[in-house]
């Protein structure tokens, strides 16, 4: 589902911007417990741990390749799909269309899987969190890259409704993202890093 590995920005893995911002972006999304998910493909957990280690080591491009491999191994995994798309949204504006395809796929897969009746409670909770994250990242995409606050607000509203409450309260959406939508509506400019300091467009 990636457009191709050779198209990544020509930037060394030790570039300080990539090392710091990608570490912040990935450390949260890749640290989530996956042990509760049934029938996880063999090797997926090790790939995700390797990606996190590569980011921590400053070899961000290697981490992106590893996420590519993880996505190929588990194309229906909502969190893996969201994780890959998040990196594109936060750092690679030339690949926004690809990020949108991944996030819409995560939204569709999450809607289908949450109602399947096949997941135990903990796995379902993690799935719904990842499903909500995909909606949130679509909001970020619309706000940062398309400057479309109306569409961004629609995605953010769905994120808050999903939760899962109360464990994931989505305070960032209500306290930061929605006011940013209002500001853009009123003609004010918003800097991506003010929306989220982890956003660093590298192209």
The alpha carbon torsion through 57, 76, 105, 37 (nearest 10 deg) reads: -80
pLDDT of residue 2: 29
pLDDT of residue 83: 82
The parts of the chain modelled with pLDDT lower than 50 are 1-37
The pLDDT value given to residue 157: 96
Sequence spans of domains, the chain = 13-191
13-191 placed in CATH 1.25.40.10 = yes
Q: Residue 39: its pLDDT value, please?
A: 62
């Amino acid at each position: 589902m990636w457009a191709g590995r050779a198209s990544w920005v020509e930037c060394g893995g030790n570039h300080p911007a990539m090392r710091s911002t990608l570490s912040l972006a990935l450390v949260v999304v890749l640290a989530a417990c996956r042990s509760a998910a049934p029938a996880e493909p063999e090797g997926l957990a090790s790939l995700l741990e390797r990606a996190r280690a590569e980011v921590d080591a400053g070899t961000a491009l290697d981490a992106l390749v590893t996420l590519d491999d993880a996505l190929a191994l588990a194309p229906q995994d909502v969190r893996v799909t969201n994780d890959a798309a998040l990196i594109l949204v936060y750092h690679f504006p030339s690949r926004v269309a690809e990020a949108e395809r991944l996030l819409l796929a995560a939204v569709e897969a999450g809607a289908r899987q949450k109602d399947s009746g096949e997941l135990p409670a903990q796995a379902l909770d993690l799935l719904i969190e990842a499903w909500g994250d995909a909606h949130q990242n679509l909001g970020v995409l619309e706000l940062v890259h398309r400057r479309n606050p109306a569409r961004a607000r629609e995605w953010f509203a769905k994120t808050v409704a999903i939760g899962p409450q109360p464990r994931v309260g989505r305070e960032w959406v209500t306290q930061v993202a929605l006011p940013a939508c209002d500001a853009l509506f009123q003609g004010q400019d918003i800097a991506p890093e003010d929306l989220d300091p982890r956003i660093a467009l590298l192209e």
